[in-house]
């Protein structure tokens, strides 16, 4: 076992988390993780079914005496977000996650940890292996490709599941029960840019880094900086004040992550180096003042770069940069019904330069479908005004809260019995697979809970050790009381 996990409780959960940390499981590359789950099920003599896209369902009979209990399912996703700090040497396709302990928390060494949703999957496997939990009949659902758009859940077939209760293990705050989530859609823009041979200037790399990033749903209201918007604003100032030429713009890594880093390569006469650095320094000071304590680690640097052979035509550079500086990022509306819940938002997520094309990926979320679609139209309209072609994809439904459902009542009774008080009921400004799968199973009652995980989708991701034991004890007691 990884040294950081040695002697931690609950051992059945950490044992499987240890195994999962050694298995590369980027989105769409979960085959080895799925094989591990299937191996555990096979050794236990349990039935498993794989659907056409790679989701896995395992069934376990009730403990003797609990056969008449309603069937419940435990669900988690096999994939993880693969983010690393610049300078961290790590290949997510082959390298195990290097877990370290920092006080009462576990994190990874320069990469995402995979506690989202590795702890939930590990807990489900621990229940699968258990012989001392008095549970009713169970189904286990392990989905693929959750992090890049809930693909596994979207393709999950109807008619396969038999459960009355759906327990999603992907919530990220102990003491809370999630009973609703937003829907989402991806809006992508693409524009061909004119290119001409690079002039005689020196090449410089303008880089935005040091931002917190985070989940583009649950962290969208935190006031954190968006590296792409900041870079767009810096480049817009440079194009207005200096004879720079733009060669490439790249940044962000995933549609559901707030971009932490972005960079552009520009050309400028070497005699203007001091002017370039002065303008960038002034821009950095302005953005630091704007972000304040929300994201105090911002850095905007200028460094020598390899000379490109071609650069953008001037008008194409101006329009592309103006779009990045102008596209909205952040909260569009707060919920009038649930305190402190974001209702509608948009995230400027990824920009890439590929040959003579610039591609932009954004995502919009809302608990109200009409608001989500309106936000997507707004983003599309601005992109089209800048000469970009636009398409939408990856639409998924939200999940309407049902605070008076039978499953919520049962979960609250157990929570009060175990912890002395009811859990806080929340709704999530993020897509949860229960909303997507549940739409295909009308009448199935759903809830989501889990341990405390901070800064998912970034290398700052960490899981609170004590919360995992509380989560495990709660899960066991819930299963015994359904």
d(CA 471, CA 106): 16
pLDDT at 396: 86
d(CA 318, CA 312): 9
Looking at residue 78, what DSSP letter applies? Answer: S
Mean pLDDT, rounded, for 97-123: 97
Half-sphere exposure of 94 (CA within 13 A, CB side): 2
Sequence-ordered strand ranges (E) for 271-408:
299-304, 310-312, 330-334, 342-354, 357-366, 389-396
pLDDT at 43: 98
d(CA 412, CA 115): 25
Q: What is the CATH number of domain 185-396?
A: 3.30.70.360
- Say which residue the tokens 């034991």 belong to: 469
Confidence class for position 113, pLDDT limits 50, 70, 90: very high
Confidence class for position 64, pLDDT limits 50, 70, 90: very high
Confidence class for position 245, pLDDT limits 50, 70, 90: very high
Looking at residue 201, what DSSP letter applies? Answer: S
pLDDT at 21: 97
Q: Average the pLDDT over each of 17-31, 58-72, 128-142, 430-444 and give the range with the smallest value.
A: 430-444
**Residue 70: Cβ within 10 Å count:** 14
pLDDT at 224: 96
d(CA 165, CA 457): 28
Half-sphere exposure of 118 (CA within 13 A, CB side): 35
C-alpha closest to that of 2 among 15, 83, 262: 15
Residues in the chain, total: 482
Q: For residue 149, is pLDDT > 80?
A: no
Tell me the three state secondary structure of residue 57.
strand
Q: Average the pLDDT over each of 4-13, 103-112, 143-152, 224-233 and give the range with the smallest value.
A: 143-152
Query: Helix H segments across 130-265?
Result: 151-154, 227-241
C-alpha closest to that of 312 among 324, 303, 329: 324
Confidence class for position 254, pLDDT limits 50, 70, 90: confident
Confidence class for position 392, pLDDT limits 50, 70, 90: very high
Mean pLDDT, rounded, for 165-176: 96
179-209 pLDDT per residue, tens? 988 999 999 999 999 999 998 899 999 999 9
Mean pLDDT across the chain: 95
Confidence class for position 467, pLDDT limits 50, 70, 90: very high
pLDDT at 61: 98
Confidence class for position 86, pLDDT limits 50, 70, 90: confident
Please tell us whether the domain made up of 3-182+398-481 is placed in CATH 3.40.630.10: yes
* Maximum Cα–Cα distance across the chain: 83
Please calculate the CA angle 132-19-479 and round it to the nearest 5 degrees: 30
Mean pLDDT, rounded, for 282-299: 96
pLDDT at 287: 97
First to last CA, the chain: 34
Mean pLDDT, rounded, for 166-186: 94
pLDDT at 339: 79
Hey, where are the domains in the chain? 3-182+398-481, 185-396
Q: For residue 164, is pLDDT > 80?
A: yes
pTM assigned to the model: 0.73
Q: For residue 337, is pLDDT > 80?
A: no
DSSP string of 453-478, one letter each residue: EESTTSTT-EEEHHHHHHHHHHHHHH
pLDDT at 428: 86
**Residue 50: Cβ within 10 Å count:** 12
pLDDT at 359: 98
C-alpha closest to that of 400 among 182, 203, 154: 182
d(CA 240, CA 24): 45
- Look up 146 and say whether it is catalytic: yes
Given the residues 79, 83, 248, 433, the one annotated as active site? 79
Residues 6+ apart with CB under 8 A from 443: none
pLDDT at 341: 87
Given the residues 145, 146, 172, 316, the one annotated as active site? 146
Q: Tell me the CA distances in angstroms from 380 to 41, 192, 352, 384, one per residue in order.
A: 46, 16, 18, 6
- Look up 369 and say whether it is catalytic: no
Confidence class for position 402, pLDDT limits 50, 70, 90: confident
Residues 6+ apart with CB under 8 A from 130: 12, 476
């Amino acid at each position: 076992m990884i040294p950081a996990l040695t002697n931690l409780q609950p051992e059945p959960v950490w044992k499987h988390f240890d195994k999962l940390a050694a298995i590369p499981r980027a989105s769409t590359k979960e085959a080895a993780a799925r094989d591990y789950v299937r191996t555990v099920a096979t050794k236990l003599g349990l039935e498993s079914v794989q659907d056409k896209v790679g989701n896995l369902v395992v069934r376990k009979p009730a403990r003797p005496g609990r056969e008449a209990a309603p069937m419940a399912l435990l669900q988690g996703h096999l994939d993880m977000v693969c983010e690393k700090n610049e300078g961290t040497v790590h290949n997510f396709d082959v390298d195990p996650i290097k877990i370290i302990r920092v006080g009462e928390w576990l994190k990874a060494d320069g990469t995402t940890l995979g506690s989202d949703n590795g702890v939930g999957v590990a807990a489900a496997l621990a229940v699968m292996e258990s012989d001392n939990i008095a549970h009713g009949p169970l189904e286990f659902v392990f989905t693929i490709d959750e992090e890049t758009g809930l693909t596994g859940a979207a393709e999950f077939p109807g008619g396969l599941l038999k459960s009355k209760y759906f327990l999603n293990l992907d919530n990220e705050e102990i003491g809370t029960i999630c009973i609703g989530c937003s829907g989402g859609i991806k809006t992508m823009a693409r524009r061909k840019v004119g290119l001409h041979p690079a002039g005689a200037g020196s090449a410089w790399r303008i880089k935005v880094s040091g931002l917190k990033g985070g989940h583009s749903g649950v962290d969208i209201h935190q006031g954190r900086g968006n590296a792409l918007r900041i870079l767009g604003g810096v480049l817009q100032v440079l194009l207005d004040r200096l004879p720079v030429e733009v060669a490439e713009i790249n940044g962000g890594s995933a549609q559901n992550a707030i971009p932490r880093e972005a960079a552009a390569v520009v050309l400028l006469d070497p005699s203007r180096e001091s002017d370039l650095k002065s303008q960038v320094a002034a821009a950095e000071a302005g953005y630091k003042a704007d972000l304040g304590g929300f994201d105090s680690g911002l850095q905007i640097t200028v460094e020598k770069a390899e000379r490109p052979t071609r650069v953008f035509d001037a008008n194409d550079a101006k329009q592309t940069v103006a779009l990045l500086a102008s596209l909205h990022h952040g909260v569009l509306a707060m919920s009038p019904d649930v305190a402190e819940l974001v209702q509608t938002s948009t995230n400027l997520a990824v920009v890439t330069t590929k040959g003579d094309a610039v591609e932009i990926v954004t995502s919009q979320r809302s608990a109200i479908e009409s608001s989500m679609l309106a936000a997507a139209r707004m983003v599309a309209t601005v992109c089209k005004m800048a000469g970009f072609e636009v398409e939408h994809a990856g639409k998924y439904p939200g999940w309407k809260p049902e605070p008076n459902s039978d499953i919520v009542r049962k979960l609250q009774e157990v929570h009060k019995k175990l912890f002395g008080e009811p859990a806080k009921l929340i709704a999530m400004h993020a897509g949860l697979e229960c909303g997507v799968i549940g739409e295909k199973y009308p009448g199935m009652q759903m809830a989501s809970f889990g341990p405390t995980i901070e800064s998912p989708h970034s290398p700052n991701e960490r899981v609170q050790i004590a919360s995992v034991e509380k989560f495990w004890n709660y899960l066991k007691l819930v299963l015994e009381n359904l």
